[in-house]
Structure 1
Amino acid sequence: MKKDLPIVVYYGENEYELNKSIGDLALETGYSIKEINDGLDFLDLINILNTPSLFEGNLIYKITNDTILNDDSNLEVLKEYINNPSPFSKGLIITKKIDLRKKTSKFFKENNLLLEFPLRKGANLRKWVKEHFWNHGYNISDDTVAYLLEVVGENQIMIENELKKIFIYEPDHKNITIKDLDILITNNVQSNIFNLLDNMFSDHGKMLKALENLYKLKEPEIKIIFMIIRDLRIILRIKWFLKEKYRDDKIASLLQIHPYVAEKKIELSKKLTFEEVFKYLKLFYEVEEKIKSGSGEGKMLLRSTLLSMK
């Protein structure tokens, strides 16, 4: 957002970059942020913007109730204000989605008063992670970035929290490895789901440790089972791709996952037959149904089922 724009709409799912942009704007302008969650129309907002604050100085009013964007009745008032704005206040409207069928929304877009913050995904997110490491003087391989995202997830707020811990630790070598991440990243839900799935057919000790950690984090059996079923379904798809002689890079592209993550899943899929994958899927669907219907104690059912995997 340019510091001289009087009212702007920020929209999108990327809370991390949206909030960072708001902080940058406050620093750039020297204005303070004041949040308003009341239901306003544009006449209300303009009256607020035109009223100087005696004690708080210049303000950016952050409007978090996006119903104001439904107000087409005051469009002419809004246009007039944009041409003759307050010298001491700015308006910032926050919303997840924008309806460009609305006249007001169209006006914001046509006048470059609309800024989107989409979620970063795939190569764009991996590039953002690598730049974070470079800016702190560290190198990280594509495979290690893929591992980080698989373990931590794709939420940029969570990723940055983990990166801060790594940078505070200040490894004495400049190339961050998977081993470094295993030592430093938080024992969170995503990392334990990853470890459970990764060790389900190979190391029951590590698998049960991950399950125990998930219980400590208050994760319900149904969610854990959902993640296992999702992973088995991915393995099943990989087996079909391999049967059709698809290359590993093609499989990664079709699944929209990094080649490093795809490689690990491909390795596992080769160790299992179609019959075994179907058997395990059926088994977990049955466990899910038993837990939902109250036909057995969830923890015992899930633990015994996991221990039967080999």
Structure 2
Amino acid sequence: MEYKEAVKQIKQKKFSPIYLCYGTEKFLMNEFIQFLINEFIDPVHKDFALSHFDLNETSIDQVVEDVETLPFMVPNKLVIAKNANFLTGSRDKTKVEHQIEKLENYIHSPVDYSVLVLYVQAEKLDERKKIVKLLKKQNHLVSFPPLKPNELSKWIQNRVKKHGCMISEQTAETFILYAGTNLQTLAAEIEKCCLFAGADQEITREMINQLVVRSVEQNIFILVDEIVRKKLEQALTIFYTLLKQKEEPIKIISLIARQFRIILQVKELSSKGYSQYQIASQLSIHPYAVKIADGQGKLYQERDLVDILNKLAELDYQIKSGQIEKVLGIEKFLFQVNI
């Protein structure tokens, strides 16, 4: 089940004896586990009712033993074990030996005074494994996939609302453009903007531009968007900002090329009938990046994108061979693609 369904059940005080949390949205996973802690355990009982394990250091059989042990001085307990990598297809690099049958037996006959939470940051579990099939059959899996573009925008709006402020859907899109899709980063930047704005105030694009710290990658993301929209002045402004931040022009060229390559790949895969979510998985990028690239790609023919990539490759060669000065070369490129 998806985490939203699990949250709904927990709010109704319907607790599963086991939760196997997996996916790439680590921030949501951590929030879910904290929510479960708050709902399942009385705050005064936390010292005795909560246990944490790292499965890179402790075997699953030891964890199950703790789950089965009667709680001391409290009515129930919550046992949380991270890094359940033995449930994925990745190679286990630790020397810990897990007796999986111990967990299998527990799944068939869980105790009624404990809740076990296993979690791993992985896109997929290995569903060929008997233990994963069993956990799935018993409906113990809770997935945390990347938020879809509309979900991400809604998440920002809800987060802002929790801080007592307001934000429009369009401005939420600007937030993503400036801060990226990492929820941890977005949460921190939202809190900053809300503190600046004050209670019951609206977060504006100007505030975001003034307050949000942009990574090099996000600046390039915005730079490429300005190139696509043929806004030369804005593109040059971002480029000069990157230079003031001591960013190497060769790196800037490489990142611009990467973004145009993504636009081309998204365009090609989209023409073959792939959904945005399938494309995101295939290219290992966030669905929101696919959404933006898909919109940008509609403004070009495939041959135009190939031509831009060829221009960037030629520029890279000319700079490295001393045929053109770095800054002048990028300025020339920006003028060419904005004609």
Matched, 1:61 2:92: no
The structure 1 residue matched to 2:291, chosen from 257, 269, 275, is: 257
What is the correspondence of 1:1-310 to structure 2 with a 5 Å cutoff?
Answer: 2=10, 4-28=15-39, 29=41, 30=46, 31-38=49-56, 42-50=60-68, 58=77, 60-67=79-86, 74-75=100-101, 78-80=104-106, 83-85=109-111, 87=113, 90-96=116-122, 97-171=124-198, 174-199=201-226, 202-203=232-233, 205-212=236-243, 215=246, 220-221=251-252, 223-230=254-261, 233=264, 257=291, 262=295, 279-288=307-316, 295=321, 300-301=325-326, 303-308=327-332, 309-310=334-335
Given that residues 133 and 140 in structure 1 are in contact (C-alpha distance below 8 angstroms), is that contact kept between their aligned partners in structure 2? yes
In structure 1, what is the Cα distance between the partners aligned to 2:120 and 2:263? 39
Aligned to 2:232, the other structure's residue is in SS state coil
Letter in 2 for 1:38: N
Q: Secondary structure at the match of 2:291?
A: coil
Question: What TM-score do you get using the length of structure 1 for normalisation?
Answer: 0.70
Q: May I ask how many residue pairs the two structures share in their alignment?
A: 283
Partner deviation per Cα, 1:274-305 (whole Å, 9 max, x = no partner): 998665432202234567xx64599x53x232
- In the alignment, the residues of structure 1 paired with residue 198 and residue 248 of structure 2 have an alpha-carbon distance, to the nearest angstrom, of 28
SS at the partner of 1:100? coil
Over 3 Å counting, the alpha-carbon distance change for 1:69 and 1:216 in structure 2 is closer
SS of residue paired to 1:176: coil
User: 1:182/1:78 Cα in 2 relative to 1: closer, same or farther (>3 Å)?
Assistant: same
Label 1:86 to 1:24 Cα distance change in 2 as closer, same or farther (>3 A): same
> Secondary structure of the residue that 1:115 maps to in structure 2?
strand
CA deviation vs aligned residue, 1:134-160 (integer Å, no higher than 9, x gap)? 333433222222222122222212211
SS in 1 for 2:111: coil
For residues 90 and 218 of structure 1, the distance between their equivalents in structure 2, rounded to whole angstroms, comes to 51
Please give the secondary structure, in 2, of the residue aligned with 1:46: helix
Q: CA RMSD in A?
A: 4.4
Instruction: Kindly provide the CA deviation profile for residues 187-217 of structure 1, in whole angstroms up to 9, marking residues without a partner as x.
Output: 3234421343355551265133332266459
| Structure 2: distance between partners of 1:266 and 1:42 | 48
Identity of aligned residues (%): 19
Name the SS for the 1:139 alignment partner: coil
For 2:38, give the aligned amino acid.
Answer: L
Distance in 1 (CA, whole Å) between partners of 2:304 and 2:202 is 40
Moved more, 119-128 or 192-201: 192-201
Once residues 32 and 128 of structure 2 are traced to their aligned partners in structure 1, the CA distance between those partners, rounded to angstroms, is 26
State the alpha-carbon separation in 2 of the partners of residues 198 and 207 from structure 1.
11
Structure 1: tracts of 5 or more residues without a match: 241-254
Contact 1:197 1:207 in 2 (8 A): no
Change (3 A) 1:214 1:193: farther
The 1:40/1:95 distance shift into structure 2, 3 A limit, reads farther
Q: How far does residue 40 in structure 1 lie from its aligned partner after superposition?
A: 5.9
